[in-house]
Structure 1
């Protein structure tokens, strides 16, 4: 067997050690049974009883075993944590857990950013934060993006976005907004005006 992706949904295949199947990590389709069952019967040409075969394990790519280990590790990390979700396709494709486990609130924030066209300000803000205080990037995805957006808009327009817009789009509370507002208030004076800092905002 050489196929490595599901013929139905295209997600990576994994090797289920316990049941002996190659299954899809996305839709759960059983693509192939790793064990060939014993067969009996008669040879068609000679009319003699066919020799009963032992179960034969097919040669399975090492990639399947690696994928299965990653799949189980990811599943364990979010077990009993309904507020978290795993991008299994990203885990199995990159073989890493970086940015593959996110809270549902952060996923909603990312979707809202896309829907409102805020990514340019978010990316510009992230660059500014990285220059001024990289430690602030250790926040949750939605908190980090909200801070970046607020800082970028503040530098670009001189005004900080209001709590209603930020709280709704980035899925954060009013308390978190006030904390981010104070951070922006402290960081903004350290940044050159938009005219002089244009390159940092457009590159």
Structure 2
């Protein structure tokens, strides 16, 4: 979520850095929902994941970001050299990310969405599908389970591009917006969850020094 839409910010309590993996080159941490990845603009938006991490690891630097409402695995570099190396891995698509989401309605099977996306500028930070002017976006999705009692489906999502709100807009365009999404859910879907039900649950990347595959899992808290 962009700070253009925020008139207040109530980050979750700081209960300590939730480390998933650490060595001399990188950190993998579990970011809670409701916490910014980096500081926001203006007063009152300083508390964020990187600030909390730097209290324990002063050399930690951000490599990528998660939306404030999204929880899960975030990769941090230990120092500027590793930040450049890891950023290049993201740019070359050497990093594979998997998200878990709860979406409205019954979704079955699997598929790929390649709908191009662009900012809905008068209504930013909303993004919209634009077949003529939109930028390329690609998401693989797989339905995992349908909860008939709650009328929602658990899905696995793998983005192959990194557009703003990509997973959220692609699921909305499929007719299955993510529960708790203040920008894209229906009124019922927004009321059905206390937060955005989107979690970065798996991250795979070659270690920047050894080349060995790191495969980090962080189960969704929902």
TM-score (norm 2): 0.24
TM-score (norm 1): 0.25
Computing the radius of gyration from Cα coordinates, the structure with the larger value is 1
Whose helix fraction is larger, Structure 1's or Structure 2's? 1
